[in-house]
Chains A and B, each alone.
Chain A
Amino acid sequence: MLYAILCYNSEDLVTSWTQAEDDAVMARLHVVHERLEREGRLGPSVRLMPTTTATTLFKGEKPMVVDGPFAETKEQFLGFYVIDVASLDDAIQVARDLGEANPTGAYEIRPMSLYLPGAPLG
Chain B
Amino acid sequence: MSEIGGIDQSLTAARPQAMAALLRYFRDLDAAEEAFQDACLKALLHWPRNGPPRDPVAWLIMVGRNAAIDTLRKTSRTQALPAEALISNLEDAEADLAERLDGADYRDDVLRLLFVCCHPGLPATQQIALALRVVSGLGVRQIARAFLVGEAAMEHRITRAKARIAATGAAFGAPSAVERAERLTVVAAMIYLIFNEGYSASGGGAVNSSRDQLCDEAIRLGRLLLRLFQVEPEIMGLTALMLLQHARAPARFDAAGGVVLLERQDRGRWNAAMIAEGLALIDKAMRHRAPGPYQIQAAIAGLHARAATYEDTDWVGIEQLYAALERLQPSPVVSLNRAMAVAKVSGPEAALAMIEPLAGRLSGYFHFFGAKGALLMSLGRDLPAREAFQRAIALAQSPAEAAYIRGHLDRLSGAAPDQA
- The chain A residues found within 8 Å of chain B, CB to CB, are 10-13, 15-19, 21, 24, 49-53, 55, 65-68, 87-89, 111, 113
Contacts and interface: CB of A to CB of B under 8 A. Distances in A.
A111 B273 CA distance: 11
Given A67-B284, A88-B283, A113 B277 contact: yes
Interface string B261-276: 0000000000101001
B28 to A, nearest CB: 25
Contacts of B101: none
A91 to B, nearest CB: 9
A85 to B, nearest CB: 11
B280 A53 contact: yes
Interface stretch (B10-18, B84-92, B114-122, B126-134): B10-18
A74 B226 CA distance: 24
A78 B223 CA distance: 27
B216 to A, nearest CB: 8
B411 interface: no
Nearest to B231: A67
Contacts of A65: 287
Contacts of A55: 284, 287
Interface of B: 1, 9-10, 12-14, 17, 56, 216, 220, 223-224, 226-227, 230-231, 236, 239, 271, 273, 276-277, 280-281, 283-284, 287
Contacts of A13: 9-10, 13
Contacts of A111: 276-277, 280
B147 to A, nearest CB: 21
A49 B277 contact: yes
A67 B230 contact: yes
Contacts of B227: 11, 51-52
Contact of B226 (A17, A24, A52): A52
A90 to B, nearest CB: 10
B280 A49 contact: yes
Contacts of B56: 10
A66 B288 CA distance: 11
